[in-house]
Amino acid sequence: MIKEFIQNRFDGGENSDIRAAAANQFATSINFDVHSLSSHLVPVRSYEADETYSGDSVGIRASDLAEFGQVSNQVYAVGRKNDGTGRKIYQKVVSATTWLATTAADGSAAESATGSAVPGFFFKTVNSSGQAIYWFLTSSGGFLLVGMMDFRSAVAVNFSKVALISDTNMYIKPQAIIGADGNGYISDLHNLIAVNSDGTVENPVFELTQGNYIMSVAKDGAYLALGVYNTLEGRSYVLLWDYVDAQASDRIELGEGAIMVLANLGGRLVAVIDKYVNSTFFGSATTGQGAMKIQFVGEDTPVAEVKASGVVANAIQQFKHIKNNVLYWYAKIPLADGTYREGIWSFGRQKSSQPYSLALERELPGTFEGFYGINDYLYFPHSEDGHVSRTASTDTFGTAVYETALNNSNDPYYSDQSVEKQANGVTLAVEPLTAGQSIVLKYRKNRDTSWTTVDPVPLSVTYDTSAVYPMSGNFRNIQFRVECTGGAQFLGLKFRYEVLTNPLQ
């Protein structure tokens, strides 16, 4: 009985239960965009160095850039002053890689004499003077330094300080957002601080009891949504606040785990929840107990989940970016073999006709220190030495990897390991390859720990868009792995096999 396994849609994303995956789902992918097109996988660009300063190829590293924002065609970042005594604002044109100080000399108004950068606090608002950006810094004395800068003149308008609760608890990073009322809001553990459009600061404007920490914030219509983790119960919930009352308008339970990211995707609140993976929060959880959950607020069960084996510090962090209705965040998920699935994950859909899907979208340029989405770029401080990289401005690619699931919706015998099957061959469909591009096909059967390359190259190629790989040998279950280098685009896979035995017959 000849059967075929066909994979030519990918918009269902990753399914960690690879024996129950739908026809448009897969086991894993990395360095592929699965949201843009449903019919094939698009490799994402790799990275380029973004760390020059006034002609010095490494000089900006000493500034240790940590926060990024944009006004018009200018990118701004907060870093150290050259003499190391405080903070300074740096800027560059979006398309450039060379940074400049906002003024030529240290000691300018666009600096702070004290303070260290806190990631995640660059956001813009509009006040009576024109467009401005607020940046937020903390000093070693436990103060929040609020700076408002009018970028038409590159002059810092004013600074004020307000005491921080979280100075000694920075594994929970403060979050910042411009609310529906036009004011800025910053979380400070269980407090919410307001930065009014005139630059004045109110602390607090909303307050929770001890042990309830604001982890992430998002706008939800006329409300500000607060993702809260209750450390005493080990559970999370979302509060909807109307910007005025002392009490929340609604409370929505999310269940076990720490909410790390909250976002609004096309009018739906979605939460990324760390369930027993972060050793800082949960200690030594039982191996196999943890997971990263993606859950719509108001629904009882996750829409996607990634299982973890063991724990790791800072497993999921509070950095996030939203573009084209897709949420991006960082996570490091430990596996049973001692490795990690680490990088920038994505969840969402670009068109209403598509399903919501999850993928590990890209690897990192170095040791993770944060990421910031600016226009078409992602900026990554990394490697703990001042390095900054961003997504490449040209078609530069690494290796993108895709692995099939163990399920074939057209044949229940495909994933039935009690049934012997015989492999006959594989066909790959690809976009025409150009110079520097290549595709490698691998497989593993009966849950082998290593992959075997289909040797040596395609037997035949037709019009440069399809490749036929002969295969032989028996298997009870089988997975395929496609590795695309140089930006090669993978369109689909067809595997032909024969069912040999059925123990129930």
* pLDDT tens-digit readout, 412-442: 888 888 889 999 999 998 888 888 888 999 9
Q: Read off the DSSP letter of residue 56.
A: B
Residue 232 lies in a domain: yes
* More reliable by pLDDT, 134 or 400: 400
Sign for the pseudo-dihedral over CA of 227, 253, 246, 181: positive
Q: What distance in Å separates the CA atoms of residue 215 and residue 59, rounded to the nearest whole number? A: 34
In the chain, what is the greatest distance between 2 CA atoms, to the nearest angstrom? 85
How would you class 49 by CB atoms within 10 Å of its CB: exposed for 0-12, middle for 13-18, buried for 19 or more? middle
Average pLDDT in the 499-505 region? 70
Average pLDDT in the 161-167 region? 58
> Under a CB-based contact definition with an 8 Å cutoff, are residues 469 and 452 in contact?
no
H or E segment and range at residue 281 = helix 279-282
Same domain, 353 and 254: yes
Report CA 105 to chain centroid distance, whole Å. 37
Residue 234 lies in a domain: yes
Same domain, 222 and 354: yes
Domain count of the fold of the chain? 2
How many residues are recorded in the chain? 505
Report CA 77 to chain centroid distance, whole Å. 20
Q: Predicted confidence band at 216 (pLDDT cuts at 50, 70, 90)?
A: very high
Least confident piece of the model among 15-19, 29-33, 56-60, 483-487: 56-60
- Percent of the chain beyond pLDDT 70? 81
Same domain, 265 and 318: yes
> Is 51 a residue whose pLDDT tops 90?
no
b/e per residue 51-62 (b: at least 16 CB within 10 A): bbbeeeeebbbb
> For residue 20, what pLDDT is reported?
75
Pairing of strands 357-362, 52-53: unpaired
Q: Which residues pair with 359 in a beta bridge?
A: 346
Its pTM stands at: 0.91
Residue 23 lies in a domain: yes
- Token pair in block for residue 95: 């398309």
- Token pair in block for residue 317: 């962090």
> Is 149 a residue whose pLDDT tops 70?
no
Least confident piece of the model among 91-95, 114-118, 346-350, 371-375: 114-118
Same domain, 441 and 340: no
- Token pair in block for residue 105: 């000399």
Residue 228 lies in a domain: yes
Residue 349 lies in a domain: yes
> For residue 40, what pLDDT is reported?
84
Q: What is the mean pLDDT of the chain?
A: 83
Domain coverage including residue 269: 208-363
Report CA 462 to chain centroid distance, whole Å. 38
| Residue spans of beta strands (DSSP E) within 404-451 | 421-430, 438-445
3-state secondary structure of 448: coil
Q: Which CATH number goes with the domain that contains 17?
A: 2.60.120
Same domain, 464 and 321: no
∠ CA 274-280-286, rounded to 5°:
65
> Under a CB-based contact definition with an 8 Å cutoff, are residues 319 and 371 in contact?
yes
